[in-house]
Amino acid sequence: MFDPRANLIGQLFGALGSSDQKWFLCFGTLLKLCRGQGFLFDEDIDIGVIGFSGNVIQSLQHTAGFVPTSYILDDDTKEYLKVTYRWQNPLSRSQSDNILSEIDFYFWKKAGQIYYHYYDEQARRPQNGIPEEYHFKGIPASCFEPTKEEVDRFSKDRKYREYLTKHGTWQSTVPGYETTGVKVCKPYRYGTCLDFWYPDWNGERPGVSKTDYDVTVKSCKDLK
């Protein structure tokens, strides 16, 4: 039987691979994967990107046919900060239940030794993509960036080198969809990332996303 979620996996991660940008699962999606709960495509999918957002958006649109439903722009560079897609089940006859997943892309900005993502849970989404103010949450850059010594060490170790990508992320198969041949990426220090985002992530409680780096600015130029 045709599984539309398997088709989603091929489209989504195939497009990400063709964009040749650094990307990885983040937030709740990474939490489920690391807890061994599987990769649940009937809920939100959170993906982080470090790199030129235009390459990713173009790949998603031209390779996979994805069209964004909302987006937030950097008021200075006009680069994307956050883009949301809704992927629909092509086999569904009902408009009310044909949404398989909402996919959120977070394009991280580096300021000093912190990477920040736009956070808009309580904010209205402006039609032109530029909000009245920007609320960012951050995480130490070391969570995403291995040192040269670490890359050299892992590249020489047969046990690890096939899983560490050139962008400094870890590859793994998608639980339940191993036969598709598609792999997803996790941040370099994914356990530390989860420690920042969900302090109780190793326990049974679902946890609440938090961070010690919380900034609100009028313009992205003010992010320091």
CA distance 99 to 191: 31
Break the chain into its structural domains and give their ranges: 4-222
| The pLDDT of residue 90 | 55
CA distance 154 to 164: 8
- pLDDT mean by block of 10 residues, the chain; 224 residues: 64 80 91 74 81 81 74 93 77 54 90 93 74 93 93 83 87 76 89 89 62 88 91
| The pLDDT of residue 205 | 57
